[in-house]
Structure 1
Amino acid sequence: MPLSDIVRALNAPATGKRPDFLYRSGLDHPFVAAEGRVFIHYANIRLESKFLPVVDTRSGRTHGHASTIQAFGLSNSVPMSPDAVFVLPTDAEEFVYLDRLVRTLHALNYLTQPVRGNLLLRVHSRHIISVPANHGLAFEEILRPCGLLPEQITLEINTDAVADKEHFIRAVASYRSRGYGIAISHFGRTELDFPFLSQLRPDIVKLDNLLLASGRPLDRIIDNIHELGGRILIEGIDSANLRRNASSLAIDLVQAHAPILRPSGIRIRRNADGGEQLDAAA
């Protein structure tokens, strides 16, 4: 189905093709298709998808992409941080709606990628806590009209400083039972909780940059994660020393950084050698 037709169906609950999970009174028709891409208009903000390549360090091939949002004011085009967007919902219901909406945006735009592979999609911790059970069911219903299956998706979850670990264990088990892959982000930011990690059994573990910068020996940490069946991912190919030694450190995957946005309309892009380059905003 053409992308414009998928967007039309998702925007129109009257067709019966749009999942109820994407409808909120006053927030219908959130998707905008233009220039071969899809955008979201939400709370006077334009949300765009950005895909960051994830590369297998051994083969050099693209494993897939991690998704992130780029947000701009509709009236002034001033960029906002992704975290600032998720402060806007006024209650748990709207937060869950926005979280699903953003993941749907990424799924739609990923259909246009020339080289795809696995798609990493963030699921916010507040979303997981706000949904009592059957995690992943609603999003599976959203993926179906996009022509994607849960097996093509890895859900990235931040478990750092989680209070209700049992809830997260049940949520991850539900996601996994539906076919989603699981990635744990920010591991080692405040603690190395291997017992919790062993109960989650993630496919990918993203080491936090604070851990990487701490100078702490990584060999045993990486060995422990590999023993649990997880692959190691580091974020930021500008970490020159880690990139050069990725193979010797048994790091499996490397993910690029998102470009830094500036209100002037200039983007500062980090080069692979750790430097920065100025790009005019698209």
Structure 2
Amino acid sequence: MGSGVHRDTAIARYADFELGSHYEPIFDISVHALAQSLSSAPESADRFGDELGFQAVTQLLNGAHVDTFDPFEHVSDDQELVALDRMSRAMHTINFFGAQRHGLLFLRVHERLLKSVRYDHGRHFSTVLISFGLNPSRIVIELPPAAVAHRTFLGYLTKSYQHYGFKVAGNLPNAGQILSVSDMARLDFIKMDAGAALRDSMVKPLVGYANRLRIPLIFNRVATEAQFDLLQQYDVRFVQGPLFVVNEHRAA
């Protein structure tokens, strides 16, 4: 457990750094069918819809996110990286359940961990969670684009994590990759970069194909009100990104 302002949360120590947990909401915007844009009195609303869950983000306790300084980039030894990745996910899970948050917890898994662990992906983490009395079924293991790009590997990973009770989300490396999803082990969620999908005019085809697969599609990295307004025009259901974090803080 931390001290001072962090005394109520678990922290992780690695080398000279102290790491903590930050959570980015994933909203189901279809629930309330927002009729007004975020620019229309956002300070009067404390929600954008119902929360599907939260994405865990590792945070340096000096306030800088790992997007700015990634501790994994400083780990050359694969086994050390595996230990750090597992420790970070355990910390996020303890803090998530300890705060009695609702919904699902999305946890990224580092690409090098996936390559370093040879088999039974999810077994170790499931054992850790169960030892704490925590339920793996509320955890979504989020696979990186590099793993999703390899159909056979993705199929194995998905089945393995689901076997140990987890749900699995796959980040599409590009919009066209969704065409291969139906041939793989069945993902529980698909994630796509909103900016890339809008730039390539692929939002409508992606939504249509995901609906046919009956796999929820989350558009992440939504950064601007203009992007959000465009996504709503295509009946997008799940959204995530910096825009909603900023407005959530503004409304609090």
Task: Report TM bin, short chain.
Answer: 0.7 to 0.9
Q: Which residue in the other structure is 2:112 paired with?
A: 126
In structure 2, what is the Cα distance between the partners aligned to 1:132 and 1:255?
A: 32
Root mean square deviation of aligned Cα: 2.8
Higher strand share: 1
Q: CA offset at residue 39 of structure 1?
A: 0.7
What does 1:251-270 correspond to in 2, within 5 Å?
Answer: 251-257=236-242, 270=246
Q: Which residue in the other structure is 1:266 paired with?
A: none
Cα offsets for 1:124-183 (capped at 9, x unmatched)? 121111111111000001111332211111111113476754233212111112221111
In structure 1, what is the Cα distance between the partners aligned to 2:147 and 2:135?
A: 31
In structure 2, what is the Cα distance between the partners aligned to 1:69 and 1:180?
A: 20
Contact kept? 1:201, 1:229, Cα under 8 Å: no
Contact kept? 1:65, 1:118, Cα under 8 Å: yes
Q: Does 1:81 align with 2:66?
A: yes
Counterpart of 1:192, as a letter, is G
Q: Which residue in the other structure is 1:153 paired with?
A: 139
How high is the TM-score relative to the length of structure 2?
0.79
Q: Which residue in the other structure is 2:206 paired with?
A: 221
Q: CA offset at residue 89 of structure 1?
A: 1.9
Match of 1:271, SS state, is: helix
Q: Which residue in the other structure is 1:70 paired with?
A: 59
Worse-superposed segment, 102-111 or 236-245: 236-245
Match of 1:81, SS state, is: coil
Q: Which residue in the other structure is 2:89 paired with?
A: 103
Q: Which residue in the other structure is 1:241 paired with?
A: 226
CA separation of 1:115/1:162 partners in 2, compared to 1, >3 Å: closer, same or farther?
closer
Match of 1:79, SS state, is: coil
Pick one of 10, 14, 21 that aligns with 1:49: 21
Higher helix share: 2
Q: Which residue in the other structure is 1:194 paired with?
A: 178
Match of 2:157, SS state, is: helix
Q: CA offset at residue 110 of structure 1?
A: 0.4
CA separation of 1:160/1:232 partners in 2, compared to 1, >3 Å: closer, same or farther?
same
Contact kept? 1:52, 1:255, Cα under 8 Å: yes
CA separation of 1:257/1:170 partners in 2, compared to 1, >3 Å: closer, same or farther?
same
What does 1:160-179 correspond to in 2, within 5 Å?
Answer: 160=146, 165-179=151-165
More relative contact order in 1 or in 2 (CA 8 Å, sep 6+)? 2
In structure 2, what is the Cα distance between the partners aligned to 1:144 and 1:121?
A: 17
Cα offsets for 1:88-122 (capped at 9, x unmatched)? 22311111111111100100100233432110011
Q: CA offset at residue 245 of structure 1?
A: 4.8
Match of 2:115, SS state, is: helix
Cα offsets for 1:169-201 (capped at 9, x unmatched)? 21211111222111112x254x62235422042
In structure 2, what is the Cα distance between the partners aligned to 1:227 and 1:158?
A: 23
CA separation of 1:134/1:92 partners in 2, compared to 1, >3 Å: closer, same or farther?
same
CA separation of 1:142/1:229 partners in 2, compared to 1, >3 Å: closer, same or farther?
same
Question: Paired residues, what number?
Answer: 229
In structure 1, what is the Cα distance between the partners aligned to 2:21 and 2:28?
A: 22
Q: CA offset at residue 244 of structure 1?
A: 3.1
Counterpart of 1:271, as a letter, is N
Contact kept? 1:47, 1:71, Cα under 8 Å: yes
CA separation of 1:93/1:66 partners in 2, compared to 1, >3 Å: closer, same or farther?
same
Contact kept? 2:126, 2:165, Cα under 8 Å: no
Structure 2: which 5+ residue stretches go unaligned? 32-48
Q: Which residue in the other structure is 2:9 paired with?
A: 37
Structure 1: which 5+ residue stretches go unaligned? 1-30, 260-268, 278-282
Match of 1:133, SS state, is: coil
